[in-house]
Amino acid sequence: MTQQTSKPVCIVTGGSFGIGQAICDKFNRQHHQVINLDIAHNPQQSKEIQWFKCDMKSSASVKQLIEQVIVRYGRVDTLISNAGIHLSATIEETTEAQFDELFALNVKGAISATKAVLPTMKVQNNGVILYMASEQALVAKTNSFAYNMSKAALASMAKTTALDYAKYQIRANAICQGTIETPLYHQAIDKYVASSGADKNQVHAEEAALQPIGRLGQADEVAALAYFLASDDAKFITGSLQVIDGGYTTQ
């Protein structure tokens, strides 16, 4: 059933936790109709944010769900492609199965979502697509072969999509966030501490010290940038890689 809405419609992939959750919350507070496509549900998320269970590795599922959203609301204004997984491994340590899974989610999931929203955005002659890349789209890190490559791919997608669809007034940009304090960050630190015996507080302090600004980023800071890029205040910004990393990549 179509429920035409005057609210801008924002689709967020991987919006249940961490940066994705902060983005959903930000757009919801700014009176958008927010759709969260995520395989997991966060019961603490606002009921105003509609969650649809979605395996982003399944292009058919992504297409079907996004089409359902468009039929229901009659529009789609913003797509934020945030869903992704991390893998810490060198090229030798990365198995073919691990590589395929990571690219199926991080890259192919973004491709599927983009393909699903473009026809409607073209008809509207308006739309914004944001890819959550990473500082690793710009610089390399150790033990990050596949993840680094996937984020560089998203940065490339932002640039090529921006050029191909500028004539439809569709803007595409990539957010290149640095080390952000999220539940996934703490899980990674806990895993490292468990295997190495290091002190968690010391490891956390060392991570903060790596950033020129002297601290880790916060998810709501990334969400604020995402909202700005999706707004009319940024309507001349497209094809860009927007860095939010406390100065890390300037070193």
Active-site residue set: 147
**Is the C-alpha dihedral spanning 226, 229, 232, 238 positive or negative?**
negative
**Chain centre to alpha carbon of residue 111:** 13
220 token code pair? 């709501």
Best CA proximity match to 127, nearest among 156, 169, 173: 169
Q: What is the DSSP letter of 108?
A: I
**3: its two tokens:** 């429920």
Q: What would you report as the CA-atom Rg of the chain, rounded to the nearest whole angstrom?
A: 18
User: Can you tell me which residue has the tokens 């190495």?
Assistant: 196
Cα–Cα distance for residue pair 240/229, rounded to 1 Å: 10
| Pairwise CA distance, residues 162 & 176, whole Å | 16
Termini Cα distance of the chain? 53
